Amino acid sequence: MDIIVLKKSSTQDEIDNIQKRLETKGLSVNISKGTERTIIGVIGDTSKIPEEEVDSVRAMSGVDEVMRIVKPYKLASRDFKKENTVIDVEGLKIGGNKIHIIAGPCAIEGRDILLTIAQKVKESGASFVRGGAFKPRTSPYTFQGMGEEGLQILLEAKKLTGMPIVTELMDPRDLTLMLKYTDIIQIGTRNMQNFRLLLEVGMVDKPVLLKRGLSATIKEWLMAAEYIMSRGNHKVILCERGVRTFETITRNTLDLSAVPVLKQLTHLPIIVDPSHAVGRWDLVKPMSLAAVAAGADGLLIEVHTKPEEACSDGEQSLKPDVFDDLVKSLRLVATAVGREI
Ligand code: PEP
Ligand code: MN
């Protein structure tokens, strides 16, 4: 806690009590009595003061507002680490000058189809293959994913194309299995605040792609990253995938300003998933171009050879030739902003 604004009605006794409490925590105060209000500036290292203590001060008699200057996330913050974090995944560096594209279907649906999609996206310029084996579906009656059989197919796609794997983990009980197959663990939007899951992936040595929660603020998202990092795993990649708003024409609203905001607040790499953000294949290209222009370190794009037959998210999946055309345009924007694909 750094600045305490007192109520107009605050008394000298109340001010003394607050001062005493802060002094017991090893902090000192600078009391500034204005014509309207008294403000207490807290002097000392407040970064180690826990939130509970701040809440207790908020509840003290005479206190109107407590404002923190120190950020609640530490390991994820730019103040903690000035230079960008670059995450090396089998020689591919996420967060460096090169923009990486993660591409593939929403779900792994079968061997032939996945291998075909993987080869096509690789030829166009993707550097990671994706596909869900455990799907977080809104309805329990829809396709839930192929499980381990799907992971085996993904591994085959990796062997065939050389592209490392990104796939979603929903349940800590599947973590050991996941580690045998994936190169990056995806935490989906619905699990961004599944704190037990975050702590589990925080204890393994594997990069984590942390998607933004459906209605999460940037601060909540960074606190979720902090959960992972607090257990020792600092290899966190943030993924903006749109947030829920009043708008219904698009599936979600892509918060592109999150990219430059995060570049200021954190050293972690940030990628953008326009597919889940817009939910319509025809809008994926403009938003991908905009994401690269805004400074994204990578993109996650759903691609399917037969979107009309896809088990999930067909309406937002690009056909391989559309994906190919997109990557060509992306190269131009990347060059314009001093990056490469
Ligand atoms: C996905 O990547 O297929 C997915 C389910 O994404 P999200 O968690 O962003 O909805
Ligand atoms: Mn999907």
- CATH placement of domain 87-336: 3.20.20.70
- Residue 138 binned pLDDT confidence (cut-offs 50, 70, 90): very high
Pocket test for ligand 1, best of 142, 239, 273, 300 (most atoms within 8 A of CB): 273
**Ranges 7-21, 31-45, 235-249, 293-307: which has the least confidence:** 31-45
Domains of the chain, by residue range, sit at: 3-67, 87-336
Among all ligands shown, which has an atom nearest to the Cα of 189? 1
Helix (H) or strand (E) holding 236: strand 236-240
Q: Show the CA angle centred on residue 254, arms to residues 248 and 260, nearest 5°.
A: 155
- Residue 1 binned pLDDT confidence (cut-offs 50, 70, 90): low
The amino acid sitting at 141 is Y
Given a cut of 70, is residue 68 above it in pLDDT? yes
With a 6 Å cutoff on the Cβ, whether 276 touches ligand 1 is: yes
Q: Show the CA angle centred on residue 134, arms to residues 133 and 136, nearest 5°.
A: 135
The confidence score (pLDDT) of residue 49 equals 82
With a 6 Å cutoff on the Cβ, whether 242 touches ligand 1 is: no
Domains 3-67 and 87-336 equal at CATH topology level: no
Q: Is the dihedral of CA 124, 128, 134, 137 positive or negative?
A: negative
What CATH fold (topology level) applies to the domain 3-67?
Alpha-Beta Plaits (3.30.70)
* Residue whose C-alpha is closest to residue 341's, from 52, 90, 101, 50: 101
Q: Share the mean pLDDT of the chain.
A: 96
The confidence score (pLDDT) of residue 70 equals 80
The string of pLDDT tens digits covering residues 18-46 is 999 999 999 999 999 888 889 999 998 88
With a 6 Å cutoff on the Cβ, whether 136 touches ligand 1 is: yes
